[in-house]
Chain A
């Protein structure tokens, strides 16, 4: 048990910090505005976790994400407004409906590969957006949906105050992070990552690539749908712009800032991006100028994002430290064989071919 704790030291510290900071934030926050920023940031972060599963773990650049977010939001909003459903019924229904649609989308789009997949998912996102915008009688078109009810109280717990809404969203964020962490550290996460690394190899090892992509896509859509539903009842107004590809690109940016295929990345990235946005208050119109540039700079120079680059740094530092300690690292047999690579000792390398 102790060794388990030690091995996952950073993880536990991370969780502890998240929990403590998350809980005390509303108490210490100097102004209520920050609370609204944090709540919205958490909602977005949940959607970014979904995206991370597809883009980060499965390596499939799906650009329909905002479409699913909008779908979750509108489904929940409409269920509450038009059918008077309870929030606690509307939310799971919205997530499930989003998931079902995502599976249908996945069945079509995962048959395509590479750029075709990217463009196809982008177009599917655009179709969802256009349907939301044009289906005036249902969605209110460009005028949007107004007056979506607050989440219904659970017993004595009401969600009328900003603080209570913050905690509600925070709990959902924690659930999301827990699930993503479990996926990431299980065989399922390994399966997803193997598909990202080489679909061909994964399938020759007996892994059903299509099934796993669909599974990842469905889980991602489920959480994105939840994020959408939370958004609907938090902002209480929905317009078609929450489903445009611009929001997809923002999610993508948040993910890249934080670091794809990491458990902390989506939250870290979303929070960093929120802080940047807020510090640009006086120059809001420059926001996307800066984000656009950041996107280019990140993929060019820091593809690992904040978490990924930090991890690389940590490896470098421990490596350096070990080397100093051991004098000569690594010390396994075969070290220092040909081409500076490590491996089974070889007896001279007479005819290494081009292969």
Chain B
């Protein structure tokens, strides 16, 4: 078991965005989280990636409790993520974005920098090589020198995934990677996600595009009003009464 949450709860003032969620993700799986708008999916990601502190409950990663660690330690332990709204370092190039993504794997500090130590040179090369490797993987190598502001939205989405990949995660959390891109691009993206899983990375996906979810996911968790209402294979979930009700009661999604 890679990640396990127990009674995970997050309150925002009076609002319970997550309500005692128990969930497990096994090594190598491709799981998905679905639910109507405002169900708490992104909040779940924010909590298990250390971005928000949970109000109560625990998070275990590779058997170790990590609930109260600081944000950067989550990434260092191997939890990579993308944000629902594409987050990139907007003032630099595609390559530079990925180079900084590998920083947490390097050790050079102030004195390495000012004396231009062998370590700093070695690590700078390492970052560059890793960045190019990932660029190749996500198919953006030829754009490496473009300013991020100049690439298409779909390329930016890929880059955001690349940015999470460059930290060498064991668990990759993707928050609506296919939102706002067209059909053909969605297929490409689904292939990329499959490829990521095949390379040995566990993937957890939030997505409203049901067809994509049903094709990709091996296991699905359904959230509604912060509560887990169902969990199972795509088939089980799509036949679940409560799920159908939640979706009919809420807003229908494509």
A/B contact in complex, CB under 8 angstroms: yes
* With A341-B152, A343-B155, A355-B179 as contacts: A190 and B103 at CB distance below 8 Å: yes
Let me know if B87 is at the binding interface, CB within 8 A.
yes
Query: Which residues of the other chain, A, contact B68 by a CB distance below 8 angstroms?
Result: none
Cα of A330 to Cα of B106 in the assembled complex, Å: 34
A191 to chain B, nearest CB (A): 6
Q: Which parts of A190-235 form the interface with B (CB within 8 Å)?
A: 190-191, 193-194, 197-198, 200-210, 215, 219
Cα of A330 to Cα of B134 in the assembled complex, Å: 23
Query: Which residues of the other chain, B, contact A197 by a CB distance below 8 angstroms?
Result: 89-92
Cα of A206 to Cα of B164 in the assembled complex, Å: 10
- Contact check, B108 vs A188: say whether CB atoms are below 8 A apart: yes
A175 to chain B, nearest CB (A): 10
Let me know if A350 is at the binding interface, CB within 8 A.
yes
Let me know if A351 is at the binding interface, CB within 8 A.
yes
Q: What per-residue 1/0 map shows which CB atoms of B198-233 lie under 8 Å from chain A?
A: 000000000000000000000000000000000000
- Contact check, B179 vs A205: say whether CB atoms are below 8 A apart: no
Cα of A274 to Cα of B225 in the assembled complex, Å: 62
Query: Which residues of the other chain, A, contact B116 by a CB distance below 8 angstroms?
Result: 182, 186
Interface residues, chain B, with chain A CB atoms under 8 Å away: 49-51, 70-76, 80-81, 83, 85, 87-92, 96, 99-101, 103-106, 108-110, 112-116, 120, 123-124, 127, 139-140, 142-143, 146, 150-156, 158, 163-164, 166-167, 179-185, 188
- Contact check, A338 vs B142: say whether CB atoms are below 8 A apart: no
Q: Which residue of A has the minimal Cβ distance to B71?
A: A203
The number of chain A residues with a CB under 8 A from chain B is 48
Cα of A345 to Cα of B47 in the assembled complex, Å: 35
- Contact check, A205 vs B75: say whether CB atoms are below 8 A apart: yes
Let me know if A114 is at the binding interface, CB within 8 A.
no
Q: What per-residue 1/0 map shows which CB atoms of A46-59 lie under 8 Å from chain B?
A: 00000000000000
Q: Report, nearest first, the 10 A-B pairs whose CB atoms are least far apart.
A: A343-B152, A206-B104, A355-B180, A206-B75, A343-B155, A186-B113, A203-B71, A347-B184, A188-B113, A206-B76
A/B interface sample: 9 pairs, CB < 8 A: A179-B114, A186-B108, A186-B112, A190-B100, A198-B87, A204-B80, A342-B150, A344-B188, A354-B180
- Contact check, B114 vs A183: say whether CB atoms are below 8 A apart: yes
* With A190-B99, A205-B100 as contacts: A350 and B89 at CB distance below 8 Å: no
Let me know if A333 is at the binding interface, CB within 8 A.
yes
A149 to chain B, nearest CB (A): 30
Let me know if A281 is at the binding interface, CB within 8 A.
no
A189 to chain B, nearest CB (A): 8
Cα of A203 to Cα of B153 in the assembled complex, Å: 23
Q: Which parts of A137-181 form the interface with B (CB within 8 Å)?
A: 178-179
B174 to chain A, nearest CB (A): 13
Q: Which residue of A has the minimal Cβ distance to B176?
A: A355
B153 to chain A, nearest CB (A): 7
Q: Which parts of A305-355 form the interface with B (CB within 8 Å)?
A: 330, 332-334, 337-339, 341-344, 346-355
Let me know if A187 is at the binding interface, CB within 8 A.
yes
Cα of A349 to Cα of B186 in the assembled complex, Å: 12
Q: Which residue of B has the minimal Cβ distance to A347?
A: B184
Cα of A342 to Cα of B139 in the assembled complex, Å: 14
